[in-house]
Chains A and B, each alone.
Chain A
Amino acid sequence: MASSTTGEKKILTLKGGDNEEFILEESLVLQSELLKNMVKEERVSSIPLPSIKSKTLVKIIEYLKKHAELTPSNKEEFKNFEKEFVNVVLEELLDITVAVNYLKINGLLEFCCQAVADRIKDKSVEAVRKIFRIESDFTPEEESEFRKETPEAFEGDLDDTTN
């Protein structure tokens, strides 16, 4: 990973869940409200993040770097990067979302939530269950009753259980 030790720039170490260390400039992590507060209040040089997998952390750091380089002239490029960023398997996307929520990186959280929403959008209940592997614990009677209670949601959805 990044091990830039240029000039007087402050360096910080992040420790991922499996003890892997990531060295990066302190200015990068300021995008995270959580880390910002830690750095400012306690002047730490190493922050353990045991709940975040290293693989997830790699992705997030990649985002922070790209975001820090964002200027009006490379907006397009950044948008493409963002698109690619969330184009990952579902588990990974949800891992990232949870981690970003924990780290309080608001812009990225918003973007991840949109990406998750895009995978739910216009899908039938059955399809969403299948994609996210949610097991229904309703009895069939219960389910049809609940469906009746919120009819506006099911217009044109009744026979759509394939996808």
Chain B
Amino acid sequence: MAMTDSCTRLAVGGDKLDMLTDLPINVIHQIQDHLSIEDAAKMSVLSRAWRYVWASNPELVFDARFCTKRTPSDTIDIISTILFQHHGAIKTFLLDISIIPSSQYSVVDRWMLFLSRNGLANLTLQNQNNGNAPYKLPSYVYGVGLERLALLNCIFRTPCSFRGFHMLKRIHLKRFAFELDVAHSSLWMPNLKILCFMYCSGLRFFNIHAPELSILFLHSCGTLKLSFFMECEKLRILGFTSQEDVSQNRQDNAMNLTNFLSCWHNVSYLILGRYFLKVLASGTRAESLPTRLTNLRSLYFIRYNFDGEDQIFALLRILRSCPNLKILQFLSSQGKKGDMEVDVNYFEEPDCAEPGFNNLQTLRISKFYGSRTELRFVRFILGSAPLLRKAILLVDSSINESQSLKISKELMRFPRASPKSEIVFEPRKKLF
């Protein structure tokens, strides 16, 4: 039987097609995408018409569940067999290489070579195992017209001639090292919309030009060179966070953040880690930021510390610069429940009289301790946000019932600027 017959349309079985076989090929492939590789592969022995149906599915997913089921060498054999039996383009390829020992990475290289010649557009490589050596992307991958790239624990060593992925729309890199042959490299990615880097090193050697970028998220990426994002005028969602406090000498880079925000005037959604909030808004508290973030609607703080004096300054400064803010969230506020000697009177000083939240609708603190500073802050918001609908305060599990009762009594007494405001005060559900 000729292969081509069955790959274009399943008409081989004669006139008497059953309903499943009669489905359009794109629907059959979509159904197989919801099956395990084993179940999908099994379908190739249903009947003659099914012989090459699965082998022509442009999506191949070898996830951790599949790869950890058997010994590494069996897994490698099976993946090789499936790849070389495949018929037609493989557009989407996901592989978990965690169980493949680094001595055998050359096999993965060979798969990559095969894929690079078979229409690859979406590539995901996961290397979850911390002990496993990072996988170095082979040079031929850089010649592929990738649209999506997601890599975990890999090395990027670009060939000198590499100018960037021109078709790339999304890039997600985690625990990733950039290595370069030349001192500096410029990558031109005219179609890039989403860039998300976590725990990446070697970024400072790179210039990324992505004029269409709309989502940028950087987490614990050490030294940032933000200048290459300056031209990204279409940025809408922005996140800068880090695991630990970045040392002082790196401040120069992050300091620029303040200036950059004036270039990114379309940002409507901003996520800031503790350190970045501090450097973004450092300065005397009387000043507001040099630029007003008029399009900003949602502001999220990660690991915010209500007990830090500099954090309060920074918070006030940034709030004053966001006149159209609708949602303010503290995702995992940090710190002891004890009352530090923070001068909580900041909230009542004259320069606070003009708060920027005439449009604020939601305040949410997802780990609320009820400390003096926190309470003053909530009172400040309740008293000055005329359109506030909800203040959601999720009490940390370390606060016992009687303490929490005391806090709620105090909360109820706070004057409210918005007649429609509702306070939701409840225990935080444990997620993990």
Using CB atoms and an 8 Å cutoff, list the residues of chain A in contact with chain B.
Answer: 90-91, 94, 97-98, 101, 109-110, 113-114, 116-118, 120-125, 128-129, 132-138, 143, 146-147, 149-150, 152-155, 157
Residue of B with least CB distance to A144: B45
Q: Would you call B113 an interface residue if the criterion is a C-beta within 8 Å of the partner chain's C-beta atoms? A: no
12 examples of A-B residue contacts, CB within 8 angstroms: A90-B19, A94-B20, A98-B23, A98-B27, A132-B18, A134-B18, A137-B13, A137-B48, A138-B45, A152-B37, A153-B41, A153-B42
Do A97 and B27 form a contact, CB below 8 Å, given A135-B18, A152-B38? yes
Q: Would you call B44 an interface residue if the criterion is a C-beta within 8 Å of the partner chain's C-beta atoms? A: yes
CB neighbours (8 Å) of A150 from chain B are 41-42, 44-45, 81
Tell me, in angstroms, the Cα distance from A98 to B25 when the chains sit together: 11
* Majority DSSP secondary structure for residues of B touching A: helix
Q: Would you call B21 an interface residue if the criterion is a C-beta within 8 Å of the partner chain's C-beta atoms? A: yes
> In this complex, which of B23, B46, B47, B51 has the most chain A Cβ atoms within 10 angstroms of its Cβ?
B46
Beyond A113-B31, A155-B38, 13 additional pairs, beta carbon < 8 A: A97-B23, A113-B27, A113-B30, A122-B39, A124-B42, A125-B45, A125-B46, A128-B42, A132-B19, A134-B18, A137-B47, A152-B37, A152-B38
Q: Is the CB of A132 within 8 A of B30?
A: no
A155 CB, min distance to chain B CBs, angstroms: 7
Q: Would you call B43 an interface residue if the criterion is a C-beta within 8 Å of the partner chain's C-beta atoms? A: yes
Q: Would you call B16 an interface residue if the criterion is a C-beta within 8 Å of the partner chain's C-beta atoms? A: yes
Interface residues contributed by chain B, number (CB under 8 Å): 33
Residue of A with least CB distance to B36: A121
Q: Is the CB of A94 within 8 A of B19?
A: yes
Residues from 36 to 76 in B contacting A, C-beta threshold 8 Å: 36-39, 41-48, 50-51
Q: Is the CB of A132 within 8 A of B32?
A: no
- Within 8 Å by CB of A134, from B20, B26, B38, lies B20
Per-position 1/0 for B320-338, Cβ under 8 A of A: 0000000000000000000
Q: Is the CB of B42 within 8 A of A154?
A: yes
Q: Is the CB of B19 within 8 A of A129?
A: no
Q: Would you call B374 an interface residue if the criterion is a C-beta within 8 Å of the partner chain's C-beta atoms? A: no
Q: Would you call B34 an interface residue if the criterion is a C-beta within 8 Å of the partner chain's C-beta atoms? A: yes
Residue of B with least CB distance to A157: B42
CB neighbours (8 Å) of B78 from chain A are 152
Tell me, in angstroms, the Cα distance from A94 to B27 when the chains sit together: 10
A82 CB, min distance to chain B CBs, angstroms: 15
B319 CB, min distance to chain A CBs, angstroms: 27
CB neighbours (8 Å) of B21 from chain A are 132, 134
Q: Is the CB of B19 within 8 A of A120?
A: no
Residue of B with least CB distance to A123: B39
CB neighbours (8 Å) of A110 from chain B are 30
- Within 8 Å by CB of B39, from A94, A121, A146, lies A121
- Within 8 Å by CB of B41, from A113, A117, A128, A152, lies A152
B408 CB, min distance to chain A CBs, angstroms: 25
B78 CB, min distance to chain A CBs, angstroms: 5
Q: Would you call B88 an interface residue if the criterion is a C-beta within 8 Å of the partner chain's C-beta atoms? A: no
CB neighbours (8 Å) of A114 from chain B are 34
Tell me, in angstroms, the Cα distance from A157 to B37 when the chains sit together: 14
A62 CB, min distance to chain B CBs, angstroms: 21
Tell me, in angstroms, the Cα distance from A152 to B40 when the chains sit together: 11
Q: Would you call B33 an interface residue if the criterion is a C-beta within 8 Å of the partner chain's C-beta atoms? A: yes
B203 CB, min distance to chain A CBs, angstroms: 36
> In this complex, which of A94, A129, A138, A153 has the most chain B Cβ atoms within 10 angstroms of its Cβ?
A153
Do A143 and B16 form a contact, CB below 8 Å, given A113-B31, A152-B78? no
Q: Would you call B35 an interface residue if the criterion is a C-beta within 8 Å of the partner chain's C-beta atoms? A: yes
When A and B form their complex, which 5 residue pairs have the shortest distance between CB atoms, in order from nearest? A117-B34, A153-B41, A132-B20, A113-B30, A153-B42
Q: Is the CB of A117 within 8 A of B35?
A: yes
- Within 8 Å by CB of B47, from A109, A118, A120, A138, lies A138
> In this complex, which of B19, B43, B48, B51 has the most chain A Cβ atoms within 10 angstroms of its Cβ?
B19
CB neighbours (8 Å) of B46 from chain A are 125, 128-129, 134, 136
Tell me, in angstroms, the Cα distance from A101 to B28 when the chains sit together: 11
A159 CB, min distance to chain B CBs, angstroms: 15
Q: Is the CB of A117 within 8 A of B31?
A: yes
> In this complex, which of A90, A124, A138 has the most chain B Cβ atoms within 10 angstroms of its Cβ?
A138
B2 CB, min distance to chain A CBs, angstroms: 16
Tell me, in angstroms, the Cα distance from A38 to B19 when the chains sit together: 28
Q: Would you call B101 an interface residue if the criterion is a C-beta within 8 Å of the partner chain's C-beta atoms? A: no
Q: Is the CB of A146 within 8 A of B45?
A: yes
CB neighbours (8 Å) of A124 from chain B are 42
A56 CB, min distance to chain B CBs, angstroms: 13
